[in-house]
Amino acid sequence: MRTSPYGTWKSPLSAADTIGGVVAFGLVQVDGEDVYWLEGRPEDGGRQVLVRRDAGGRIEDMTPAPTYVRTLVHEYGGGAYVAGGGRVVYSELSDQRLYELGRGPLTEEPAVPRGWRYADARLLPDGSIVCVGESHTHGEAMNDLALITPTGEMTVLTRGRDFYSNPRPSADGSRLLWLEWDHPNMPWDGTELMTGRLVDGSLTEVTKVAGGVDESIFQPEWAPDGGIVFVSDRTGWWNLYSSKDGVTTPLRPAPADYGLPAWVFGYRTYGFLANGRMLAGFWQDGVQKLEVIHPDGSATALPTGYTRHDYLITDGVSRAWFAGTAGTMPSAICELDTTTGEVVIIRSNPMPVPPDHVPVPRVISFPTGTDAVAHAVFYPPLNPEHDAPEGELPPLIVTVHGGPTSHVVPRLNAEFLYWTTRGFAVVDVNYRGSTGYGREYRNMLRDNWGITDVEDCVAAARHLADIGEVDPDRLLITGGSAGGYTTLAALAFTDAFAAGASYYGVADIALLNEHTHKFESRYCDRLTGTDPTEIRRRSPLYSADRITVPVILFQGLEDKVVPPEQAEVIAAALAANGVPHALIMYEGEDHGFRKAETIVNSLESELVFYGNVLGFTPAGDLGDVRLS
């Protein structure tokens, strides 16, 4: 073991290694004995590939290059394919048309490029498809529920609300469930669960089952007995309910969240098993746990070793599949036997470093604000080949999740390992406004964006400094999108941090409101209110003269959520005020970096930047970052 200052440790993990052979696992579907999932591959330009494991266990790509399975409905997409009855229908990124494997395009080429988009599709017994449609042919996007016949003819089933999601036909195709809502709500604020009868390509007998402007409904499904199951936060927690013959019954009342924020289509947290049982995932103590819920409302815990179980799906009998995240294991596509509790890994990301280089993450809670408590996940530095000089404490990187309505769990994250193996500590903050802690905690960010999130990030850093885990003079902050906004706001409105790195962060909330897409064009109404003076006060751009520490900005040139001018205006303001900074722009990147070369360059540049700021030279040949 060598004694070396924190930040200078030689790591076995290069920036390229953080994405080498690594994929982002996406939507899981099951058709008989075939299991499908998506893989986002940075080394292939971020292309999403549909993968199948067949009944014999063979795994193969179903969509060779250049096919890119991705929909842009609501811009964030999700629900980009559906598998059933031997058919697979998917959305192609390049033109947003629907295609069927082995057949070709199902929908017509629109007159306006990407003018019609489709998501969250389901197959009907007659071969038709019901899905969410989005038109970009005349001004602002128009959303609806659409029916597409086997010959490709499209009929709008319902239109008039700002947004639709989760169209779910009954087994015989005679009835349909769906969610709908209007501005300024996001789906976690308030939605309505509707049902109607499908007759000759039309919806009749439309009625509301549940929901409203202050009740969020998540994942409606038809139960095997013909009833309706859904998740509602009417009690302050996203809990499971059953509705049958006009009577709604709670299935598992608990102070736990069985739902999550529907930023994208296709999220699932529960599924049906044999004999009236259900498999459900819920958030408690900062992680997502699984349990089997019995008909009498009792439950049996199913420990899996994973902290998150995304796109959970069952076979209706005893098996389940999910994309798993864990604190000390790589993410994987998993198969679960709910009878024995056995988990079989179907496909896994590689272990990026030897196990003795992986710190065990700790879920922490800490005081913040006025008699409030916030939460985070802490990753201490660890490298068995290095030790720090006696008395030295490590620098801390505060990471801020996006959304801002989102949630983080303990996870083996190669980018975190990139830092911890070099001698940095990392804390991933679930500030007030995050999900997984009930509606009251989630709503604490209402009218307080740029206030409570900043307060909690500062409190997390100072808490760790106070208990002797990190160096109070070497606190850093970074985040992407909304996390980039919080990063810039923390630098502008506090003196807690020595430097910050913003990834496609919001600098001007008014500019975001003016240029962002329809889905979140009224999102900030809930976060900051609508008063122009207050919006300006919360925007870091107009307080850039208060930023006195170095900043590095990373931005995609094709970003439609946070356009490049956001980064350009904050860089110009920093330059005018003489603040050391760097702005790095990437061609071909939009909101969230997907290309391997971008991810590698930004990570290495961030490390070099921190070394420049804190006065040490990182190990390795990393190039230079020129500060203006």
DSSP 63: S
* Domain membership flag for residue 136: no
CA 552 distance to own-chain centroid:
24
pLDDT of residue 178: 98
pLDDT of residue 55: 95
pLDDT of residue 623: 84
Domain boundary (322, 350, 378) is at 350
pLDDT at 566 over 90: no
Asked if 345 and 362 sit in the same domain, the reply is: no
Quote the crossing angle between the two packed helices 482-493 and 452-466, to the nearest 10°.
Answer: 70
pLDDT of residue 269: 98
Asked if 543 and 429 sit in the same domain, the reply is: yes
pLDDT of residue 284: 92
Region 584-597: mean pLDDT is 93
Asked if 394 and 528 sit in the same domain, the reply is: yes
pLDDT of residue 232: 98
Asked if 455 and 513 sit in the same domain, the reply is: yes
CA distance 42 to 574: 32
Asked if 395 and 540 sit in the same domain, the reply is: yes
* Domain membership flag for residue 503: yes
CA distance 71 to 403: 19
Asked if 338 and 475 sit in the same domain, the reply is: no
Residue in this structure with the two tokens 């005020």, named with its chain if needed:
577
Pairing of strands 372-379, 425-430: antiparallel
Question: Which three-class secondary structure string do you get for 83-111?
Answer: EECCEEEEEECCCCCEEECCCEECCCCCC
Contact 498, 474 (CB under 8 A): yes
* Domain membership flag for residue 276: yes
Query: Counting beta carbons within 10 angstroms of the beta carbon of residue 531, is it exposed (0 to 12), middle (13 to 18) or buried (19 or more)?
Result: exposed
* Domain membership flag for residue 12: no
Asked if 423 and 509 sit in the same domain, the reply is: yes
pLDDT at 134 over 90: yes
Region 327-343: mean pLDDT is 98
Region 419-424: mean pLDDT is 98
317 is in which domain, residue-wise?
270-350
Asked if 365 and 316 sit in the same domain, the reply is: no
* Domain membership flag for residue 499: yes
* Domain membership flag for residue 514: yes
Query: How confident is residue 591, by pLDDT bands cut at 50, 70 and 90?
Result: confident
**pLDDT of 146-187, one tens digit each?**
999 998 899 999 999 999 999 999 999 999 999 999 999 999
**pLDDT of 91-111, one tens digit each?**
999 999 999 999 999 999 999
Asked if 513 and 588 sit in the same domain, the reply is: yes
Region 314-338: mean pLDDT is 98
Total domains present in the chain: 2
Asked if 332 and 393 sit in the same domain, the reply is: no
pLDDT at 622 over 90: no
CA distance 42 to 19: 7
pLDDT at 450 over 90: yes
Alpha-carbon dihedral 339, 341, 347, 352, rounded to 10 degrees: 180
pLDDT at 516 over 90: no
Contact 179, 195 (CB under 8 A): no
Asked if 313 and 378 sit in the same domain, the reply is: no
Alpha-carbon dihedral 289, 433, 325, 260, rounded to 10 degrees: 60
**pLDDT of 35-79, one tens digit each?**
999 999 988 988 999 999 999 999 999 999 999 999 999 999 999
User: Residue 147's beta-bridge partner residues?
Assistant: 130, 155
pLDDT of residue 563: 85
Q: What is the mean pLDDT of the chain?
A: 96
CATH number of the domain to which 560 belongs: 3.40.50.1820
Spatial CB neighbours of 328, under 8 Å, sequence gap ≥ 6:
355, 358, 360, 361, 412
Domain boundary (325, 350, 375) is at 350
* Domain membership flag for residue 593: yes
Q: In percent, how much of the chain has pLDDT > 70?
A: 100
Asked if 380 and 506 sit in the same domain, the reply is: yes
CA distance 2 to 215: 57
* Domain membership flag for residue 321: yes
Domain boundary (335, 350, 365) is at 350
pLDDT at 620 over 90: no
- Predicted TM-score (pTM) of the model is 0.95
